[in-house]
Amino acid sequence: MYLVQYLNFICLKDDFFVLENQGDDEINYYALNKCNIKDTEIESIIDKTVDGLFSVFATLGSVPMIRCPKNNAAEMVSEKLAKKIHENLKDTRNNLFLSTGGGVGSSGDFGLASGGLVFHRPLLIVLDRNVDMATPLHHTWTYQALAHDVLPMALNRITLTDAQGTGGSAGQVKKIDLNDSDLFWSQHKGSPFPIVAEAIQEELETLKAREEEMKNIKMSMGIKPGTFCMVSAYIFISQFPSNHQTTLLSSRRLDTLFEIEEKLMSRVSTDRTIGELLADEFGNSEDKLRLFLIYYICAHASEEESLARCLDILRKQGCDTSAYEYIRRWKQYNKITSPGAGGEDRAGSIIKTKSMFSKLVSQGSSFVMEGVKNLIVKKYNLPITRIVSDIYDAHCGSPTVEVNKNFALFDPKLSNGALNTAHAGSHISVVVVLMVGAGNYIEYENLVQYGRDKSVRVVYATSSLVNASGFLKQLTLLGDETKQ
């Protein structure tokens, strides 16, 4: 009975789950921030988010301690979740959070339980998308996040269509499942794409050698040589960087966009003005708009004199600048006058890409990537990761005044739910981070890396998983509403 009732969440990975299927728009960023939203609609969104989180922790059979920023949607979700869990704890006959753990399910425990026994309560950190609006628009270059950004990816599956089949027929559709059973994907999904390209070359050479060996064996046995059936990884390897995918990466110069945006978000001066960059012939109109919005979000007020010129350049290139109208209102409302996505952790983290995407050359089944061996990737923490780090450190040690001032703490085991510093110093082995509104693979990868560095398991979750294009469409809808 319980297994049927508490399944309104989707596990994409052992440390990543979503509360809404991709393509649905009931609890996405637009739904929560649209101008004419009614109180009943807000309640419905909050309830759906709470129900999803309740299902997760009911499945785990573990009661979380909850942290969240004050006075936003994240606090509404946290408070309601704490009350719902507390009410269930009082029901001795139908208590889903047994002291021995286990809950209503036995799989997908995110590494939280071992043998049905939960040794430490998880820390749930609920955040609102508005804490960082630049990262969801950022061009990236790690394999997994890049695939989600530029290819039609949903529920760990990519659908590729050839431009044209034989004889002018419709192109062949190939569906590729991305999971850890694919060794190549498992090993390289979080790697920078130039490193992946080098691994592609090595993998292809190995596979070609095996294919030739198999053909020779068949011929020695008197068997007519046929096409050697490669593993699924080969299909993805041979398709992603070739044909229109390679053209897509090189023509849009995603490496250049990535490097420029890294500088903007790190408050490092660029070689050219933003107007000159937007007028340059690289990227499509959406790429230019994403670059401009990141500039605007991260720019100081004194740097905004060129906004009118930038907007004119974008409009002449066919860009719909409605998203800017919403970001402008969002920035004014939040009184942001300094970069919201930079910070000390990001300073000095600029990656010299050496135009590596543009140097990717497809030669049949051979791939060449110049400059890979000279690549130096420096680690940095995104805004969401810095928030998680501050809360985690405060929870495991002595909470700072700043953390207590800006972040509420709820414990569903307490009658009033609210809490101050009672749990300071307690050990946390698992941190679950929920992004309300719109999550992405960039934040997921950054948090997972932080968890590895801190020797703590971090699970990323979001109410709605979207790529930059999908998020930009939501901002455009919101911008259209501000004009009405």
Residue 206's domain is classified under what CATH number?
3.90.830
What is the DSSP secondary structure assignment for residue 168, as one 8-state letter?
G
396 and 377 in a common domain: no
User: Is a pLDDT exceeding 70 seen at residue 445?
Assistant: yes
User: Is a pLDDT exceeding 80 seen at residue 253?
Assistant: yes
The answer to whether residue 351 is domain-embedded is no
Contact 203, 366 (CB under 8 A): no
Average pLDDT over residues 81-99: 86
Banded model confidence at residue 452, pLDDT cuts 50, 70, 90? very high
227 and 149 in a common domain: yes
User: Is a pLDDT exceeding 90 seen at residue 22?
Assistant: no
pLDDT of residue 126: 98
Last residue of a domain, one of 381, 414, 446: 381
416 and 390 in a common domain: yes
Q: Distance (Å, rounded) from C-alpha 28 to C-alpha 24?
A: 8
Q: What is the dihedral of CA 251, 253, 257, 263, to 10 degrees?
A: -160
Banded model confidence at residue 100, pLDDT cuts 50, 70, 90? very low
The answer to whether residue 5 is domain-embedded is no
291 and 243 in a common domain: no
The residue with greater pLDDT, 11 or 301, is 11
User: Is a pLDDT exceeding 80 seen at residue 346?
Assistant: no
243 and 325 in a common domain: no
The answer to whether residue 151 is domain-embedded is yes
201 and 315 in a common domain: no
The answer to whether residue 353 is domain-embedded is no
Average pLDDT over residues 423-443: 86
User: Is a pLDDT exceeding 70 seen at residue 15?
Assistant: yes
> What is the tally of structural domains in the chain?
3
22 and 126 in a common domain: yes
The answer to whether residue 155 is domain-embedded is yes
319 and 332 in a common domain: yes
Radius of gyration of the chain (CA): 24
The answer to whether residue 106 is domain-embedded is no
178-194: string of b/e by CB count within 10 Å (b at 16+)?
A: beeebebbeebbbbbbb
pLDDT by residue (tens digit) across 168-182?
Answer: 556 688 888 888 888
User: Is a pLDDT exceeding 60 seen at residue 354?
Assistant: no
User: Is a pLDDT exceeding 70 seen at residue 59?
Assistant: yes
User: According to the per-residue pLDDT averaged within each range, which of 280-289, 370-379, 457-466 is highest?
Assistant: 457-466
The answer to whether residue 39 is domain-embedded is yes
pLDDT of residue 270: 84
Q: In this predicted structure, which of 6-10, 200-204, 376-380, 462-466 has the lowest mean pLDDT? A: 376-380
pLDDT by residue (tens digit) across 227-248?
Answer: 444 444 444 454 554 344 455 6
User: Is a pLDDT exceeding 70 seen at residue 279?
Assistant: yes
Contact 311, 270 (CB under 8 A): no
The residue with greater pLDDT, 77 or 341, is 77
Average pLDDT over residues 339-353: 51
Name the residue among 344, 357, 288 with its Cα closest to residue 319. Answer: 288
Q: Distance (Å, rounded) from C-alpha 104 to C-alpha 145?
A: 32
Contact 463, 52 (CB under 8 A): yes
Average pLDDT over residues 218-228: 60
Q: Domain range spanning residue 452?
A: 10-99+119-131+383-468+477-483
pLDDT of residue 241: 41
182 and 69 in a common domain: no
How high is the mean pLDDT of the chain?
Answer: 79
User: According to the per-residue pLDDT averaged within each range, which of 61-65, 206-210, 215-219, 279-283 is highest?
Assistant: 61-65
The residue with greater pLDDT, 197 or 121, is 121
Banded model confidence at residue 98, pLDDT cuts 50, 70, 90? low
Banded model confidence at residue 422, pLDDT cuts 50, 70, 90? very low
pLDDT by residue (tens digit) across 367-419?
Answer: 444 433 344 456 789 999 999 999 998 887 766 666 778 899 999 988 765 55
Last residue of a domain, one of 227, 248, 269: 248
Q: In this predicted structure, which of 43-47, 98-102, 123-127, 271-275 has the lowest mean pLDDT? A: 98-102
User: Is a pLDDT exceeding 90 seen at residue 43?
Assistant: yes
pLDDT of residue 55: 93
User: According to the per-residue pLDDT averaged within each range, which of 99-108, 352-361, 453-462 is highest?
Assistant: 453-462
> Given phi > 0 = left and psi -120 to 50 = alpha, else beta, which region is 81?
alpha
pLDDT of residue 227: 46
pLDDT of residue 116: 41
238 and 154 in a common domain: yes
199 and 307 in a common domain: no
Give the contacts of 213 (CB within 8 A, at least 6 positions apart).
none
Last residue of a domain, one of 248, 266, 297: 248
The answer to whether residue 239 is domain-embedded is yes
329 and 243 in a common domain: no
The residue with greater pLDDT, 121 or 399, is 121
